[in-house]
Amino acid sequence: MSKEPITLELLNPRGEIEPPPVFAPAPRVADLAGKKIGLYSNGKQGVDNLYTVIEELLKQKYPDVKTTRLTGAFEIRDDEASAWASEVDTFIYAVGD
Amino acid sequence: MFIACDTFAEATKSASEDNAMPTVRFRTVTSAEFYRVRGSVEEVRPLAKGVIDDLIEALTAPLTAGEKGPGQVKKETDESAPVTVTGESYESAVEEFNRVFLENLWGDGLPLVPPTPERVKWMLSGTSRSPREAIGKVSPKQGVATVEKIAVNAVMAGARPEYLPVIIAIMEALTNEKYDDRHVLLSAGSFILLIVASGPIVKEINMRSGIGFMGHGWRANNTIGRAVRLTTLNIGHIWPALNDMGLTGRISPHTFFTIAENTELSPWEPYHANRDFKTDDSCVTVASIHGHSPMHNFYGGMIGTWNAKDILDRIVESIIRSDRWMFRQWGSKGVGAIPGSGGGGNNHMIILFPELVSEFKKMGYNQESLQNEIYGRASVPYDELSPEEIQGIRTGMEIGVVPPDRKEVFEAALKPGKTVPVMVYPDNVNLFVSGGAPGCAFSFNYYRIPPYNYTALMTRKITGATLTRAGTNNA
């Protein structure tokens, strides 16, 4: 004698998400020559060493490039981040975790 | 552009979406290599040489059409859609349900109770609040925690309807616009929650507050905590090693530390009575705490004899030891809009056992006066402070880490012959009474100002209960 299959209807436990607004990244710079490049890290140890070498390598390829560093993650106020971003042509953010 | 280790690749992608830039470029290096070589410039040089061309390309190659117009972030699922599972028997259907939910990342690794409409309706019978009421949003995806969604997760956790108002109140605290749920739920530091219920509802729903109160075997304590774990996991769309980057995993991961005050044995008023709530209220207190070596033990009636004065001395010494180093950090500017976030001293959640509190009462202390005693004694002579420590405190006073209403206290303390408190407010000492006889005194702590929001310690009144005398809107 075959038994009827058991079906369980279950309510969904997931939270509804409002799709967030979406922004495109800033247009790329065509070339790094003569540009000011921001090197921003979340303050975890070791990124400073990586950035020291990145700076060296960038300056080997683009002798007139300038770099500026900003370190966080717990020491960056909104106004400082905005001011720093306005000073650079492009930037890298390194997460050192 | 981002550069991150490969173990954080999914977290980076997820964070990019959560922060409205799903097409931000990122490059990864292998964790195994980076962590081994990051200690010196010379060791990390080959790794940097290996990625420099990728970094330059990411900074200079024109954005593609897809990167320029990324459209809306796609929802991973339809969160309102019910789920149907089938099996040859009830047992096999339940097994299939557990398989599907865990495969969808909707479970916590332990067997779940099926959230059928009937069981969810049963769960909702514990509250007078509307199932559609939105309690708050959970990080990082900002999913909406409605009463019904909390009830679904409470069923899955094995909770009972009379627990639901407690669970809702916990979620109200955790999703409050000022509570930093992001750091405690997601950080690599593997932080965790302490949840304390207090007031008459504790006895009515049979929460354990005697010997073994923080352990297993107590349905109310364990399933209330588990319901919060499942609710945060499912409402926030959180998963370990995907966007919850707690490196070790989190201790007491399925239930958090969910405890209750021992209102029957405590000679004091409940904790919340000292936090602007009425004595007869029933409340929950939610506190973020450190996950690594989290307990500071002050001992009690385990092996040796004890006396209250020695335990009080140990509490004070422990706070000085854990907080003095933070003086230098008081000058940290903080992240975002909040001065000093990620520091500014600690909050201490101290759990005292009832016998000890009886002794403190004999010594003349009530909760508030003992709190003030501990605050006052947890101080360091100004003459012993280093210039760096003094500078940290002074900078903290300038930038708002020491709030304006506490400046006068610290101005007076920063003088030869005076002592400087290691905490900012007496309220940073939080005294709870739990445990049996014999008992043990211990504490947890965490930053007074968390990294990403204003607070990580909040007490909420339990309301809307329909199955208990306590926790109704009138009690």
Which pLDDT tens digit goes with each residue over A68-78?
998 876 667 77
* pLDDT confidence of residue B315: 97
Please determine, for residue A1, whether its predicted confidence score (pLDDT) is greater than 60. Answer: no
Please determine, for residue B475, whether its predicted confidence score (pLDDT) is greater than 60. Answer: no
Q: With an 8 Å Cβ cutoff, is B71 touching chain A?
A: yes
Do B344 and B401 contact (CB within 8 A), yes or no?
Answer: yes
Question: Could you write out the DSSP letters of every residue in B111-155?
Answer: ------HHHHHHHHTTB-S-TT-EEEEETTTTEEEEHHHHHHHHH
* pLDDT confidence of residue B302: 67
Do B202 and B218 contact (CB within 8 A), yes or no?
Answer: no
Task: For B293-302, write each residue's pLDDT tens digit.
Answer: 788 999 887 6
- Specify the higher pLDDT residue, B32 or B224: B224
Q: What is the dihedral of CA B53, B58, B59, B61, to 10 degrees?
A: 100
What is the sign, positive or negative, of the torsion defined by CA atoms of B224, B226, B230, B232? Answer: positive
Please determine, for residue B374, whether its predicted confidence score (pLDDT) is greater than 60. Answer: yes
* pLDDT confidence of residue B177: 96
Residues facing B192 on adjacent strands = B289
Parallel/antiparallel/unpaired status of strands B143-146 and B283-289: unpaired
Q: Which of B269, B232, B43 is nearest to B140 (CA)?
A: B232
In terms of residues, how long is chain B? Answer: 475
Cβ-based neighbours of B202, under 8 Å, separated by 6 or more: B209, B260, B261, B263, B282
What is the percentage of chain B residues whose pLDDT exceeds 70?
Answer: 97
Contacts of A77 in chain B (CB under 8 A): 333-337, 339
* pLDDT confidence of residue B350: 98
CA angle B267, B272, B275 (to 5 degrees): 120
In this complex, which of A16, A32, A95 lies closest to B80 when CB atoms are compared? A16
Q: Which of B274, B284, B131, B286 is nearest to B201 (CA)?
A: B284
- Euclidean distance between CA atoms B402 and B355, whole angstroms: 36
Contacts of B6 in chain A (CB under 8 A): none
- Euclidean distance between CA atoms B139 and B203, whole angstroms: 32
Please determine, for residue B171, whether its predicted confidence score (pLDDT) is greater than 90. Answer: yes
CB atoms within 10 A of CB B214: 19
Do B59 and A94 make contact, defined as CB atoms within 8 angstroms? no
B128 pLDDT tier (thresholds 50, 70, 90): very high
In this complex, which of A13, A74, A95 lies closest to B149 when CB atoms are compared? A13
- Specify the higher pLDDT residue, B4 or B255: B255
- Euclidean distance between CA atoms A91 and A85, whole angstroms: 8
Q: Which of A76, A82, A66 is nearest to A43 (CA)?
A: A76
Closest Cα in chain B, distance from residue A86 (Å): 16
The end-to-end CA distance of chain B, in Å, is 54
In this complex, which of A19, A28, A57 lies closest to B73 when CB atoms are compared? A19
Burial grade of A89 (CB within 10 A; 0-12, 13-18, 19 or more): middle
Q: Which of B353, B260, B250, B248 is nearest to B298 (CA)?
A: B353
In this complex, which of A8, A25, A94 lies closest to B85 when CB atoms are compared? A8
What is the sign, positive or negative, of the torsion defined by CA atoms of B230, B233, B239, B240? Answer: negative
* pLDDT confidence of residue B474: 63
B304 pLDDT tier (thresholds 50, 70, 90): confident
Task: For B39-61, write each residue's pLDDT tens digit.
Answer: 999 999 999 999 999 999 999 99
Mutate to test the interface with A, among B55, B102, B144, B447 (most CBs of A within 10 A): B55
Q: Cα–chain-centroid distance for residue B118?
A: 32
In this complex, which of B83, B145, B339 lies closest to A10 when CB atoms are compared? B83
Section B339-361 average pLDDT: 93
| Residue B467 token pair | 């199955």
- Euclidean distance between CA atoms B432 and B42, whole angstroms: 52
Closest Cα in chain A, distance from residue B169 (Å): 17
* pLDDT confidence of residue B244: 94
* pLDDT confidence of residue B14: 85
CA angle B373, B357, B268 (to 5 degrees): 90
Please determine, for residue B76, whether its predicted confidence score (pLDDT) is greater than 80. Answer: no
**What is the residue extent of each domain of chain A?**
36-94
Do A32 and B56 make contact, defined as CB atoms within 8 angstroms? yes
B421 pLDDT tier (thresholds 50, 70, 90): very high
In this complex, which of B73, B237, B337 lies closest to A15 when CB atoms are compared? B237
Interface of A with B in 32-51 (CB under 8 A): 32, 37, 45-47, 49-50
Task: For B240-252, write each residue's pLDDT tens digit.
Answer: 999 999 999 999 9
Section A45-74 average pLDDT: 90
B5 pLDDT tier (thresholds 50, 70, 90): confident
What is the sign, positive or negative, of the torsion defined by CA atoms of B106, B112, B118, B124? Answer: negative
- Euclidean distance between CA atoms B475 and B470, whole angstroms: 5
Q: With an 8 Å Cβ cutoff, is A1 touching chain B?
A: no
Do A14 and B77 make contact, defined as CB atoms within 8 angstroms? yes
Contacts of B333 in chain A (CB under 8 A): 75-77, 80
Mutate to test the interface with B, among A8, A47, A78, A89 (most CBs of B within 10 A): A8
Q: With an 8 Å Cβ cutoff, is A52 touching chain B?
A: yes
Closest Cα in chain B, distance from residue A17 (Å): 5
B324 pLDDT tier (thresholds 50, 70, 90): very high
What is the sign, positive or negative, of the torsion defined by CA atoms of B231, B110, B240, B116? Answer: negative
Question: Could you write out the DSSP letters of every residue in B422-435?
Answer: SSS-GGGEEEEE--
Please determine, for residue A80, whether its predicted confidence score (pLDDT) is greater than 60. Answer: yes
Please determine, for residue B1, whether its predicted confidence score (pLDDT) is greater than 90. Answer: no
Q: Element (H or E) spanning A83, and its range?
A: helix A78-87
Interface of B with A in 292-351 (CB under 8 A): 332-337, 339, 341-343
* pLDDT confidence of residue B182: 95
HSE-CB at B129 with a 13 A cutoff on CA atoms is: 28
pTM of the complete model: 0.93
In this complex, which of A17, A20, A53 lies closest to B237 when CB atoms are compared? A17
Please determine, for residue A21, whether its predicted confidence score (pLDDT) is greater than 90. Answer: no
> What's the per-residue H, E or C state across A4-71?
CCEEEEECCCCCECCCCCCCCCCCCCCCCCCCEEEEEECCCCCHHHHHHHHHHHHHHHCCCCEEEEEE
**To which residue do tokens 């500017």 refer?**
B333
Section A23-49 average pLDDT: 90
Task: For B77-120, write each residue's pLDDT tens digit.
Answer: 688 899 999 999 999 999 999 999 999 999 999 999 999 999 99
Do B155 and B195 contact (CB within 8 A), yes or no?
Answer: no
* pLDDT confidence of residue B223: 98
- Euclidean distance between CA atoms B140 and B370, whole angstroms: 38
Please determine, for residue B399, whether its predicted confidence score (pLDDT) is greater than 80. Answer: yes
